[in-house]
Structure 1
Amino acid sequence: MTSTGRKVTLLVILLACLAVPAFAGTKYLAGSPNLTAYIAGANQYTAGSDIQIPVVIKNTGINTNYEVAPNIVDLADVPTTAKFVTVAMGAGDAPVVIKSDPQMIGDIASQAQQTVTFSAKVNADAAGGTYYLPLNISYTQFSNVDQYGLDTFRYYYVPGNVTITAPLVIKSEVIPEVVSATSGQLVAGANGYVNLTIANIGSLDGAKATVEILQDDDSPVSPVDSSVYIGAFPAGSTVSCQYKVSVAKDAENKTYPIDVVVMYQNDEGDFVPSQTQVVGVDVGNKVSFAIQSPPVEMSPGSKRTIQVEYQNTGDSTVYSAEARISVVDPFTSSSDIAYLGDLAPGQSAVASYQISVASDATIKEYGLDSEIRYNDALDDTYISDPMKISIDVKNLSGIQGIVSNPVYISLIVAVIIGIIYTLIHARRKR
């Protein structure tokens, strides 16, 4: 490079240094944070749900008045920054319960934003619509600074507080509420009916609605007929539905849950399910019977009419009950069925059977199976669990042995007939 070129380059550098102030700084003369909020995402929630509400806090404050000079030192903070921001959410008039405490989210500079999430519960009967949740935002704002010497500064801050609202949308929907549930004579091991009265406590008029019942987890109550079409289901209306259900044999005497859900057409024409309601139905003990009569005593070769008392030990009435005895060797029977009729809980009836014992029967106590065939309130037919009729076969003595032996009875009858004949014949001769 020539001497002339080096002079030109040095001149350009000097001019550049003169054009740009050395160590220029910025001094802000005014400004403050301007905080806004909105709920991120779809922002549509359903009644009765546990929800997470993501709220975006944005700072739109702008520094419009400031001074730039070479003798100004850049400060650590500016008045438009919201520092140490804390956000608290309230419910306002929205049908929700806010579960989260106030949350600290740090600093929000100008044109920056932070997201804070709150946990909440929407009321089960929340009406659809747009609600506004109050957000109380507290922060600290830079105010001014005192400078002492060239490198010593004292900053001053003031507290700031603002309350803004964020819109929350709750969807309009059908919300079923079971007003009453009755089950009549629903017992273990049988079918029966459940009657439900259901109200629409939601804010939407459902169209083409069907009320369905479902088995709840491992509940022994399961639907046989699971749905009832009700058509229009306006908000505030009530309907009554009846369902046939089946109860498992191992069910106990207590209340069991069933699930209730309404399938309906919403305003957009889509078929959607309502939230599920759980209701309890009462179930009674399984129909059962017990033999209350004592063991029957018979002797080998004897024949007699035995009386057996049956008691309904269940929780429901049985209808057209019919008892049956099953005889096996060494027994025979000329009549093994007896009609008992209707038996209410705790009621008893006596059946009569003609029983004969073989002459070579072993001396011991026997147990003959007996069961009862009956109808329930729905006229369905069932057969009870087997019961044992105890018959003690032994050698009877005295009058009891004579009476129970048909041979002895025949001889006694013959003797009596002979005596009567003799008396009549003697009287005629006189």
Structure 2
Amino acid sequence: MRKIVDLGLLAAFLFIALFGPTPAGASENYIPSVSLDNYWTAFGSPQLDASLAGTNEFKRGDTVTLYVDLTNYGRIMGFKADKKADTLMEQALADREFDYERERTTALGIIGTLLSSSGLIEVKSGDQLIEALRSGEKSRDPMKFSIKISSHAPAGEYPLQLRLSYDYQYNAEVDANELDSKVGLRGFQSSFWYERANTTITIPVFVKRESDFEIAEVEAELSAGEKDGIIEVTYKNIGEEEASDAIARLSVFKPFSSTDDQAYIGSLAPGEERRVKFKIDVDSDATAKPYSINSEIKYTDLLGETVISESMKIPVNVNPADRSYTLPGVVALILVVAAGAYIFRRRKRG
């Protein structure tokens, strides 16, 4: 038996595959040029919903991938007969169209765009595509979106918006030349109308409560060649949880060195500050200019786990080496003594 190719349906899928979504300002419908017989009008449409696979709670500073599953809950709400089928061929055509109309709830060419309304969460990935999703089905593969959470994002809920754009069939028409008792409908053809639909689904993401730190104040004026120079740093807990057994640590580099690069802070409650001191040596050939020294805080969280904070930069200003007056003083003293001896000898000769 010869396979009958549904040219209308094939053309519709090729249109979506080749040209993609309807551009802004263009028609929202794809309407074929051939108008055939319409026996039925179906009522219903796709109904898409989204859910996260896995956790939606993350730490500040994380870069994570969200796996979003789509499910189509669309269903046919009913049918209305538009043309009476009086002959056997018309009945066959009506039955064929009825089957096509049931595809009204299938979403085609689904494009997902994830948006963040907060500057504290950045969506780093582009649009995601699912070719088709029939009624009652869940996407075989999830949409994948990468997001970056700011290192100082306050704990709480951050709603992300998933915008879905898709096409669906909203009408089908059929026709044929004749009905053959052996091969069925001869010269069968069909036409399909497709409509563009858009929906937005909120996906909540939560940032966990934890300690977080910033440098509130710094006193760091050093000189080239200085030994045991003191820098004072005030750390503040700007997070939501208390940090216990906190220790501030430096990561020094040339022209700096230190044998005292750690300072004990202790417990630091949310909103609390603590001032600590570090001893720093500066190389004698250090260039006089502003520098930055990296620091971090190692602490114990409420679960008893050891945590190391994000790195924080301490601004340090290095001044030119202090001028030594020892050598000029010795030279001056020698000159004074020599002058005195010269005067004494002359007087003695006279």
Structure 1 residues not aligned, in runs of 5+: 1-26, 290-309, 311-321, 325-336, 339-348, 357-399, 417-430
Q: Does 1:228 align with 2:263?
A: yes
Residues 62 and 184 of structure 1, relative CA distance in 2, 3 Å threshold: closer
Matches within 5 A, 1:152-301: 152-188=189-225, 190-215=227-252, 218-289=253-324
**CA apart distance, 1:97:** 3.0
Match among 35, 39, 46 for residue 59 of structure 2: 46
Q: Which amino acid aligns with 1:352?
A: I
SS at match of 1:90: strand
Q: Structure 1 residue 152: deviation in Å?
A: 0.9
Structure 2 unaligned blocks of 5 or more: 1-39, 80-90, 177-184
Shift of 1:41: 4.2
Of 147, 150, 154 in structure 2, the residue corresponding to residue 123 of structure 1 is: 150
For the 8 Å contact 1:141–1:159, the answer to whether it is kept is: yes
Match of 1:146 in 2: 173
How far is 1:94 from its partner?
7.9
CA–CA distance in structure 2, aligned partners of residues 220 and 28 of structure 1: 81
- CA displacement 1:223-278 (0-9 Å, x = unmatched): 32222222221222222111111223332101111112112222212111111112
Q: Does 1:59 pair with 2:71?
A: yes
| Structure 1 position 352 matched with structure 2 position 334 | yes
Number of residue pairs aligned between Structure 1 and Structure 2: 284
Q: CA deviation at 1:118?
A: 3.1
d(CA) in 1 for partners of 2:254, 2:239: 28
Structure 1 position 106, deviation (Å) = 3.2
C-alpha displacement at 1:46, in angstroms?
2.8
TM-score by length of 1: 0.57
Which of 62, 81, 93 in structure 1 is aligned with 2:106?
A: 81
For 2:119 and 2:205, the matched residues in 1 are separated by 8
Aligned counterpart, 1:112: 138
Q: How does 1:27-38 map to 2 (within 5 A)?
A: 31-38=44-51
- Confirm or deny: 8 A CA contact 1:33 1:59 kept in the other structure: no
**Bigger CA radius of gyration:** 1
**SS of the residue aligned with 1:79?**
helix
Matches within 5 A, 1:386-397: none
Q: Hey, what's the Cα distance between the residues in 2 that align with 1:176 and 1:125?
A: 8
The answer to whether the 8 Å contact 1:100/1:118 transfers is yes
Question: Offset at 1:196?
Answer: 0.7
Structure-2 separation of matches of 1:31 and 1:223 = 73
Q: Which has the higher helix share?
A: 2
> Structure 1 residue 405: deviation in Å?
11
Mapped contact 2:237–2:272 kept (Cα < 8 A): yes
Deviation at 1:42, TM superposition (A): 4.3
Give the CA deviation at 1:93. 5.5
Do the aligned residues in 1 keep the contact of 2:244 with 2:299 (CA within 8 Å)? Answer: yes
Q: Per-residue CA shift, 1:367-403, capped at 9, x if unaligned?
A: xxxxxxxxxxxxxxxxxxxxxxxxxxxxxxxxx9xx9
Q: Aligned pair in 2 of structure 1 residues 154, 64: CA closer, same or farther (>3 Å)?
A: closer
Q: Relative to structure 1, is the Cα distance of residues 274 and 211 closer, same or farther in structure 2, using a 3 angstrom cutoff?
A: same
The reply to whether residue 413 of structure 1 matches residue 343 of structure 2 is no
The two structures have a TM-score, normalised by structure 2, of 0.68
RMSD: 3.6
1:194 match: secondary structure: strand
Check conservation: 1:185, 1:192, Cα contact below 8 A: yes
- Which of 116, 125, 128 is 1:91 aligned to? 116
CA contact (8 A) 1:323 1:351 kept: no
Matches within 5 A, 1:326-405: 338=330, 350-352=332-334
Contact 1:139 1:159 in 2 (8 A): yes
Tell me the secondary structure at the aligned position of residue 193 of structure 2.
strand
In 1, distance between residues paired with 2:129 and 2:225?
58
Q: Give the Å deviation of 1:355.
A: 8.6
